Structure 1
């Protein structure tokens, strides 16, 4: 799982490739070394980032406050930190 790495503090760092403005929000599969996610939200005024964090929180079974955008605020390539997430559940995202 090269797109998901466990940090020293126990949190998980996800490497993502985001496609905003899609018909629906969904996990598509791999895009190189990143997990590709399509977002229905437009890339305007941080709406796509907010939608991404909410989607990941729900998919990983954690609160929205446990999901943090680490890098890629205005880029399609993003890194997100998950605190308190079950690594097995996160690994299962690709099969979802």
Structure 2
């Protein structure tokens, strides 16, 4: 089993929470949470988990803790 990495671009302070699936490139995740204190990252993890149909604890942040460009690993 290979590991599964998902690249996302997070837009904090959006008007609503939404996952947008682009034609190419990374998923775009819009969250209403502000970027302070990792709240936007936590909101993005929760929204991505709901989109994938898994628990948020199964998503591990690999890169981008303080960036809009993030990479999550799906734990098996």
Give TM-score scaled by structure 1 length. Answer: 0.70
Report the alpha carbon displacement of residue 28 of structure 1 after superposing the two structures with TM.
2.4
Residues 1:65 and 1:35: Cα distance change in structure 2 (over 3 Å): same
1:56-67 equivalences under 5 Å are 56-67=48-59
Q: What are the ranges of 5 or more consecutive residues in structure 2 without an aligned counterpart?
A: none
The alignment's TM-score, normalised by the length of structure 2, stands at 0.85
Q: Relative contact order: is structure 1 or structure 2 higher (C-alpha 8 Å, sep ≥ 6)?
A: 2
**Cα RMSD, aligned residues only:** 1.7
In the TM superposition, structure 1's runs of 4+ consecutive aligned residues that sit over 4 Å from their partners are none
Equivalent residues in 2 for 1:37-76, closer than 5 Å: 37-76=29-68
User: Any unmatched runs of 5+ in structure 1?
Assistant: 1-8, 85-96
Separation in structure 2 between the aligned mates of residue 57 and residue 27 of structure 1, nearest angstrom: 11
Query: Residue 37 of structure 1: CA displacement?
Result: 1.2
Aligned residues between the structures: 76
